[in-house]
Chains A and B, each alone.
Chain A
Amino acid sequence: MRLKIVNLSKSYDINVLKDISLSIEGYKSVAIIGASGCGKSTFLRLLSGVEFPDNGSIQVNDYNVNIDYVADYQKKIGFVFQNHNLFPHLSLKRNISLILEKTRNHTFEEADEKAAKYLTQFHLEDQMHKLPKNVSGGQSQRASIARALSIDPEILLLDEPTASLDPILTYEVLEAIKQLKNIGKDTIFVTHEISFVKDFADYVIFMKDGKIVEHGKPEILDSPKDVAFREFMTKVK
C-alpha cells in the first residue's frame, strides 16, 4: 500500500493528533501500537474518512481522503471496530447481506449467498442465523471481519479487533486475521498483541501522545530507540 500523511492534526476539547507526517510505500500490513489514549483510534478514524482532520492531508493508495472523494473511497475500505459493532437487531448473515444488497447492488439472493460464504470461511456456518447477542464475543468479532471482507475492500482497517476478548477468543480471532494475509489485502491495524504484530505486520508505527515517535520494519520492536517506546515494550512483554 501507499500511505502519505502530511501535517495531520486533530483536536476535540484536547489536541489528540499533533502534526503527524508519514510516507511509506510497498508494505501490506501496517501495525499501529502505543499506550491507551495516545490517539490510535482517532488516527484510524481519520484514515477511514468517517472524520476529517483539522489540518493536513491523507492519501491512501490512489485516494485522497477528503470530503469530496470520501464516498468513493469508503466503498473500498473495510473497517473492523474495537467492539464488534454488528447491528444488534440483525442476524450475523443479515448483517452482511443487508450491506451487499442495499449498498453494493447485489440481489437479495446473491447477497444472501455471499454472506453465507464469508461466514463459512470464518467457521460460522452454524451461527449465521443467530443475533449477535446470542453468539460469543469471538464469534461476533469474526463475523465482523467477515462483514468487512464481504464488500471486497482494497484496504482493511482493524481497530483492536481483540480488545474485549479473553485469551482463547483472542487466539481464535487472530487466527482468522492471519487468513487475511493469504488473501493479500492491504491491512492497517491497531493492537496490543505484540506477538501478533511480529507475526503479521511488515511495518510498525509506534505512537505516543498524538505523535508518531518511531516507525519501521518489525525489527524495531527488538531494539527500540525512543525511550518511551523502550518502556512500552518492557511493559507489554
Chain B
Amino acid sequence: MHESTKDHAALAALFNKDEERVNWHDETLWWIRQKRDKNVHQLPEWEALREAASQIKFNVLSNLHDYLLQFEKNATANGVQVHWAADAKEHNEIVHRLLQEHKVDRMVKSKSMLTEECGLNEYLAEQGVEVIDSDLGERIVQLAKEPPSHIVLPCIHKKKEEIGDLFHQYLGTPANVADPQFLTEAARQHLRDVFLTRRAALTGVNFAVAETGEFVVCTNEGNADMGAHLADVHIASMGIEKLIPERKHLGIFLRLLTRSATGQPITTYSSHFKKPRKETPIHIILVDNGRSVQLGRKEFRNSLKCIRCGACMNTCPVYRRSGGHSYHTAVAGPIGSILAPNLDMKKYKDLPFASTLCGSCSNVCPVKIDIHDQLYKWRQELVKEGYTPAAKTISMKLMAQTLSSPTLYNAAGKSGRFVLKHVPFLVNNKLNPWYKEREMPEAPKESFREWYKRRDA
C-alpha cells in the first residue's frame, strides 16, 4: 500500500506542479464521465434501476448475517470451500496457507481491490510467493512498483509513452514505442505465458448470489477466466458486502455496473462460478476487515452498498485534478474518503476534507450512496474524536462565540473587521494561501448594512 506522511492537500499540490498533466488527467476522466452520460441517457429507466439497486443493497445490509449463512450453505453444497477472514491479516494468511497446501509459489491474480486493501501482494512477496497481476492496468502499475490510482482504471495516471518505457524495460519491447495496440499485444504474449505456467489463480468477486451460492466476476479482458480455468486451484476473495439475495437481481447490477464505470453497456466477460471442476478446487474467502464496524455506524453503513464502479472518481472534480495517489489509500476518490476513515481515523483524517461537497458523486452513484453527505458527517465525527489541530478548534470556537452574539459581532463598529480577520478565505494577509493564484475582493466604501441604515434613516 501507498505509505506516505503527506496529506491529501500536500500530495495534490505536488500533482499540480505539472499543470499540463493535470489537464490531461482531468480530460481523460471527464471523457469517461461523458461516455457514461451518453450511455445512461439511452435508458429511460436509469433512475429506476438505481433506486432498485439501492433498495436491494439496503435489504442485503439489513439481513447480511442471514444472507452470508445462506451463501455459505449453498456454496458449500456446490462443492466450494468457504473460509472466513476477520481482517486483512487473516485473509492473507488463508491465501498463503492454501498456496502452501498446493505447493505453489507463483500465482496469477485478476483485479481485486480487496487484495489491495489487504496488502496481499506485499505479504506474499515476504513469504517468497510471486504474484503477477493479470489485469493489464494492474500489471502496468505492478511493473512500475506503484499502487493502482483508480479502482477500475488502475493506471489511468500513466501516459502511453510511460507505459511504452516500462514495457521496454521489463518486457523487451523496442524503445520509444507507444502504440497502444502494439503494447497490448506485447502484454498479451507476456501474460499468456503467465496463464499457462501458474498453477494457482486468485480472482476478486463482483457479486455473490446467496440463493445459489455462485459468484460473478466481471472483467473486460477475460483475464479472470483465463487464470481460473488454467490453474489447479482457484481462490476468490470477497468482501462480505458483495452479496445479492437472488440471481434475478443480478441483471439490475450488471446493467448498472459498466455503464457507470466506463460507459459500456455491459462488461465483456461476466463469468459465473458455481461448481468446481473435478480436481480443481474453488476456495472463497469471505472478508470482513472493518465492514461489520462500518455496518454498525448508522450514519455510514450506507457506504457498504458500493459496487466499486469508480463513477464517483471519474466525476469528482477534485479527484480528476489531484490524482488517485493523493488519497494515499487503496480505494481513492469520494468513496475511498468515506471508507478509509472507518479503517483508520488518524491516518485518513484528511480525506473527508478533500472535497468541495459539490455532490456530483452522489448523483452518479449507481447504488445511490449519499457520498457527499457522508463526507460532511465524517468531518463532524473526526472533530468530535479530536483529530483536528488545536489551533483550528480554538479559532472555530472564537468564531462561533462571535457569530452567536450581535454585540460582539458589531463590537468593533464595523462588523467587517471580524469577517476580515476570521473568515479563512478572507483573511486579509498576504500569507493567506488564497493569494497564491487569486486576488482578494476589494471592500467597497459602504457595506450593505451601512447602506440599509442610511436608507432607513
Is B one of A's binding partners? Answer: no
**Residue ranges of B at the interface with A (Cβ–Cβ < 8 Å):** none
